[in-house]
Amino acid sequence: MARDARYDILFEPVRIGPVTARNRFYQVPHCDGMGYRRPQAEAVSREVKAEGGWAVICTQECEIHPSGDVTPAIEARLWDDRDIPALALMTEAVHRHGSLAGIELVHNGPSCANRYSREVPLGPSHQPAGRWDPVQARAMDLADIRAYRQWHRAAARRAKAAGFDIVYVYAGHDLSLAMHFLQRRRNTRGDEYGGSLENRARLLREVIEDTKEEVGDTCAVAVRIAVDELLGSDGITSEGEGRDVIAMMAELPDLWDVNVSDWDNDSLTSRFGPEGGQEPFTAFVKTITTKPVVGVGRFTSPDTMVSQIKRGILDMIGAARPSIADPFLPRKIEEGRLDDIRECIGCNICVTGDRFSAPIRCTQNPTMGEEWRKGWHPEIIPGKTADESVLIAGAGPAGLECARGLGERGYQVHLAEAGTELGGRVVLESRLPGLSAWIRVRDYRLQQLNKMTNVQIYRDSRLTPEHVREFGAAHVVIATGGTWRRDGVGRANWQAVPGLETPKVFTPDDIMAGARPEGPIVIYDDDHYYMGGVLAEKLRAEGREVALATPAHSASAWTDYTLELAHIQKRLLEAGVTIIPNRRLVALREDHAELACVYTGARSQIACAALVTVTARLPNDDLYRALIAKGEDLKGAGIESVTAIGDALAPSTIAAAVYAGHRHARALGAEATGGVAFKREFPG
């Protein structure tokens, strides 16, 4: 297919100092949980994006010195020359496809506690260091500042030696010394590096100049800066000092990479912000500089991208999460294959990899993080190994992805859904407040399946063991999902809670199916992800009196790993939801719920006309167990395998369900190798 002429502007080259990007698609720096510890996986993962058409591919943060050690996060490192070969793997891989490689040099100053290096943290002034660490940073003297500038120079030289085309000076996300010196709340110095904005910006200017002097003959020098911290007068704002800093140095770097701070705001989930949501804060930048400007906004629509360029908001379309969800997004636009784009749903499951120091994962793209260790390519899947048919029971995220993968491989696939609507839990959850973008998980897969003549879809087809036997497919996949428990069993309660055998107990399944309990409602959240909080939001918006009790320290506590925790607490509290942390449900009485402190066991009561239990789920595995029990009878019917996947095997996240479906689609017919099912990297 030919490219739509409306999108031609996206494929114009952009000059960035001494280098040229082949188009306007720019993968901004983002973490991936691989970094210095898994350099081969890092290189191949970034290479796939270059192959997919991104003109610039950047690393994550790259530590320049042991005194800026971000352990336990696994980022990039350029502490000394020994780090160069690992990073050169990435630049060589990116260059193979004609893309530019960028590196984000950083010293995290008081944002890190140096848990590995055990160096004393540094800051513009004496202040606590790290997130919760009982550690303090010492105020840098002038000798420390000179040393920091030399560390940055040395790292820039090493970056050039490693083959990078763009070298960053980083002043964003409340995570870098250059930003910390800018901030009045962190910088209380009385010398030439403190006080006035000109003084507080002195270090940033000096480091830009140092970097240009060191590598500017062949490498572009980019500055990434948060122009608004969304703290009002307590922080940098786009109407105040954020604008003023850009104006002071408008023509100094070769490119401005602009965003908001901190990371919770920059990578806002779709539940809390729309595509292009940073525009009100960053639109001013191009009005005061002639240098190219890149920015982010979870861009997935090519029309939105074109609008950003034509209206003079950005010169290059920056992306982290959309490039994760679809590394081939630029090529699909270029080739006129818009229906094939896997749009980011803005769930931030990708962020959890960095928070856990584990390889990145993605709800939409199950191959993310598996490119090197499993050899998975997002657009290529091996062909079938035999002329066989596959029957899949259940068209939720696992079943849809399994059908898509097997269909691409060339198998004859029969997808049977018990209901009339495809998508399973994705359909129901996408109707909850703020989660509408999640329907893209279903829509992308249906678009692909509808193109395949070898895939048949059967709605309103609840399968029994007899149906399966009569169908006669060689392979049967059970993807029938899971069901929320209503007995209170979860992490805090290992046995059923007394009193829950009553019609006034509801589960998320009931609420999503249309049940409307009357208040006062108690939501007991022992799941700790989004469900408890989003149901509280929904029921409160419907005018109910709602309290959310949880054994955790806050509502939806696990969302700290998806950068949503603070946003969720704020929204619930402003809506009037009562949050009761550190409490375990121990009984339900006629007119109240009985809670116990998780630390002391002290009992308390709360009025309760209806209880919503958000605790754990059970797999819908009746069909699977019934089929497995038939054993030899199945073999007689020509059925070679029966496999449960996704929530039907063990309930988990939507991302895990999609991954399970994809993994089974790739594994069917492949020889079992035994041992660890993926490659590992070992220290040289």
Q: Which residues contact 165 (CB under 8 A, 6 or more apart)?
A: 19, 91, 100, 101, 102, 219, 220
Indicate which residue of 83, 165, 228, 266 is catalytic. 266
Q: pLDDT grade, residue 683 (50/70/90)?
A: confident
Indicate which residue of 26, 30, 31, 647 is catalytic. 31
In angstroms, the CA 282 to CA 261 distance is 12
Tens of pLDDT, residues 403-425: 999 999 999 999 999 999 999 99
Tens of pLDDT, residues 468-493: 999 989 999 999 999 999 999 999 99
- The structure tokens listed for 422 are 């495809």
pLDDT of residue 152: 98
Any catalytic annotation for residue 597? no
Tens of pLDDT, residues 5-45: 999 999 999 999 999 999 999 999 999 999 999 999 999 99
Tens of pLDDT, residues 139-150: 999 999 999 999
Give the DSSP H or E segment for 171: strand 166-171
pLDDT of residue 58: 98
- pTM beyond 0.85, yes or no: yes
How far, CA to CA in Å, does 575 sit from each of 152, 225, 536, 537, 572? 47, 33, 9, 7, 5
Helical residues (DSSP H) of 463-599, grouped into ranges: 465-471, 508-512, 530-541, 565-575
Does residue 132 surpass a pLDDT of 90?
no
Does residue 528 surpass a pLDDT of 90?
yes
Q: What residue type is 43 in one-letter code?
A: A
pLDDT of residue 633: 83
pLDDT of residue 570: 97
Q: What's the mean pLDDT in 347-371?
A: 95
Does residue 632 surpass a pLDDT of 80?
no
Any catalytic annotation for residue 180? no
pLDDT of residue 431: 97
| Residue whose structure tokens are 């931030």 | 348
Tens of pLDDT, residues 277-322: 999 999 999 999 999 999 999 999 999 999 999 999 999 999 999 9
**Strand pairing of 316-319 and 455-458?**
unpaired
pLDDT of residue 627: 95
Domains and CATH numbers, the chain: 5-356 (3.20.20.70), 389-481+620-667 (3.40.50.720), 486-617 (3.50.50.60)
| Residue whose structure tokens are 């940055």 | 152
Does residue 401 surpass a pLDDT of 80?
yes
Does residue 71 surpass a pLDDT of 90?
yes
Q: In what order do the strands lie in the sheet with 135-139?
A: 122-123, 135-139, 127-129
Does residue 97 surpass a pLDDT of 90?
yes
User: Does the CA dihedral 347-351-353-359 come out positive or negative?
Assistant: positive
**Strand pairing of 583-588 and 592-597?**
antiparallel
Does residue 240 surpass a pLDDT of 90?
yes
Judge whether 578 and 524 are in contact, CB under 8 Å. no
Q: What's the mean pLDDT in 525-544?
A: 97
Classify residue 578 by burial, with Cβ atoms within 10 Å: 0-12, 13-18, 19+: middle
Q: pLDDT grade, residue 675 (50/70/90)?
A: confident
The shares of helix, strand and coil residues in the chain, as percent rounded to the nearest 5, are 35, 20, 45
Does residue 674 surpass a pLDDT of 80?
no
Q: pLDDT grade, residue 670 (50/70/90)?
A: confident
Please give the mean pLDDT across all residues of the chain.
96
pLDDT of residue 2: 85
- The structure tokens listed for 550 are 């949880």
Any catalytic annotation for residue 31? yes
Does residue 1 surpass a pLDDT of 90?
no
Does residue 676 surpass a pLDDT of 90?
no
In angstroms, the CA 380 to CA 45 distance is 14
Does residue 630 surpass a pLDDT of 90?
no
Classify residue 147 by burial, with Cβ atoms within 10 Å: 0-12, 13-18, 19+: middle
Indicate which residue of 30, 65, 152, 173 is catalytic. 173
pLDDT of residue 519: 86
Any catalytic annotation for residue 173? yes
Q: pLDDT grade, residue 636 (50/70/90)?
A: confident
Indicate which residue of 170, 524, 530, 659 is catalytic. 170
Does residue 684 surpass a pLDDT of 80?
no
User: Does the CA dihedral 549-550-551-557 come out positive or negative?
Assistant: negative
| Residue whose structure tokens are 């704020």 | 570
